[in-house]
Structure 1
């Protein structure tokens, strides 16, 4: 509001001996009750509280806001960076950055179903850059459920020459070594691997000794949950990170690569904040 317009509005209200709440005085006239000014009347609010009105003639103009100094602007920008670093998204981004510093691997499986007897049909393992570390199909001991087949498109004909779990377990264990593993929906895939091993009488104790991080939990914290379960799908996380699929979605390697892409995208926010902080401190 221009000064001339504000002065005219004030003069008209004073001439009309009008009364206003503190909020309207502030917002419409940039005024406040003068020291010692008494309310003209008190009213009850709809929520059980009380509010007062003041005669505008008993009020004084508020001090004009001064533009912030360069020092104040810089301080505000530094506080903004700190606030973002400490926000939920900032903390998730720091977590992603910390994970990547450990040279993790990214794992995904395609399965015969979702239940307690489901097994892995495919295992894909990549590094953070999406390079394939290990990839195989597996011959299951149970039938593929129709609902699972509709998602990944794998049918029984794909396993005529595929190995079974005992044929690949040592290779998988060697490929992972001591590196941490990041999985989108880690509880599900680790359960599937253990069920696959159990179907062949393999206790596979080494699976329980892996360091595993859940990228779904990370993505839900960073992007926000998209369903009533408090989770987010890999497709939704990829979309929010503006990523495109390498290969078809719902293949083990493609999903492992996309998981790596999502974690890298989240970690990039942490690096951007650190760079902004460093620039402001220079």
Structure 2
């Protein structure tokens, strides 16, 4: 049974990356307070490697756009501090934690605290709530974030999907909408 997500003492985090592989890294990272929506972090970052064309086609961030940005190393301690003692809510948590860990390692930062995040996957939670079973995978079918928002009739016309801050806010709105439905049941 799906339970409401308690939003006190949480942060919502999202990243955009150079690609999806084991050598890829963050080019944009954002975090908001899960309860208030206050922006805690919203940075574009200069990666060590180039952004793949396929990744750029998804999030719209180009190599030219990030060539003069700060590096991940300069914000690593802020990321660690933002997530310390908080539940980290992420839509597709396994991916974003892995890519944040990889990026920390690539930039010679201590990755230990990222590995130990108190993390919660909002995508898996929502998929269970949406209740679309996949017999082949023996699990609930994962829903894209924008599809989940559409399914819940959440207005996201003021946001840009695949932009880290916007994806954090879409996730927050989705949690609030589902929490409200769960309260009414």
Q: Which has the larger radius of gyration?
A: 1
Q: Would the TM-score normalized by the shorter structure come out above 0.5?
A: yes
Larger RCO (CA within 8 A; separation ≥ 6): 2
How far 1:247 sits from its partner (Å)?
2.2
Once the two structures are superposed, residues 175-208 of structure 1 have per-residue CA deviations (whole angstroms, 9 ceiling, x without a partner) of 2331111000000000000111111222311102
Contact kept in structure 2, 1:183 and 1:214, CA below 8 Å: yes
Q: Could you tell me the TM-score, scaled by structure 1's length? A: 0.60
Are 1:211 and 2:122 counterparts? Answer: no
Are 1:137 and 2:44 counterparts? Answer: yes
Are 1:167 and 2:74 counterparts? Answer: yes
Number of the residue aligned with 1:42: none
Contact kept in structure 1, 2:11 and 2:83, CA below 8 Å: yes
Q: Distance in 1 between matches of 2:126 and 2:42?
A: 25
How far 1:123 sits from its partner (Å)?
0.5
Contact kept in structure 2, 1:181 and 1:213, CA below 8 Å: yes
Number of the residue aligned with 1:239: 150
How does 1:268-279 map onto structure 2 within 5 Å? 268-273=180-185
Q: 1:185 aligns with which of 92, 108, 114?
A: 92
Number of the residue aligned with 2:9: 103
How far 1:263 sits from its partner (Å)?
1.1
Q: Distance in 2 between matches of 1:239 and 1:202?
A: 38
**DSSP 3-state at the match of 2:15:** strand
Once the two structures are superposed, residues 249-276 of structure 1 have per-residue CA deviations (whole angstroms, 9 ceiling, x without a partner) of 1100000111111111111122223xxx
Once the two structures are superposed, residues 130-171 of structure 1 have per-residue CA deviations (whole angstroms, 9 ceiling, x without a partner) of 221111111111111111110111001112331111100011
| 102-111 vs 187-196, which moves further | 102-111
Q: How many residues align?
A: 179
Q: Could you tell me the TM-score, scaled by structure 2's length? A: 0.90
How far 1:240 sits from its partner (Å)?
0.9
Contact kept in structure 2, 1:105 and 1:180, CA below 8 Å: yes
**DSSP 3-state at the match of 1:171:** helix
Number of the residue aligned with 1:126: 32
Given the superposition, is the C-alpha separation of residues 225 and 117 from structure 1 closer, same or farther in structure 2, using an over 3 Å criterion? farther
Contact kept in structure 1, 2:25 and 2:103, CA below 8 Å: yes
Q: 1:151 aligns with which of 58, 67, 80?
A: 58
Q: Distance in 1 between matches of 2:93 and 2:82?
A: 18
Contact kept in structure 1, 2:32 and 2:40, CA below 8 Å: yes
Higher helix share: 1
Q: Distance in 2 between matches of 1:168 and 1:226?
A: 40
Structure 1 portions without partners, runs of 5+:
1-90, 274-282
Q: Distance in 1 between matches of 2:132 and 2:28?
A: 27
Q: Distance in 2 between matches of 1:233 and 1:186?
A: 13
How far 1:226 sits from its partner (Å)?
8.3
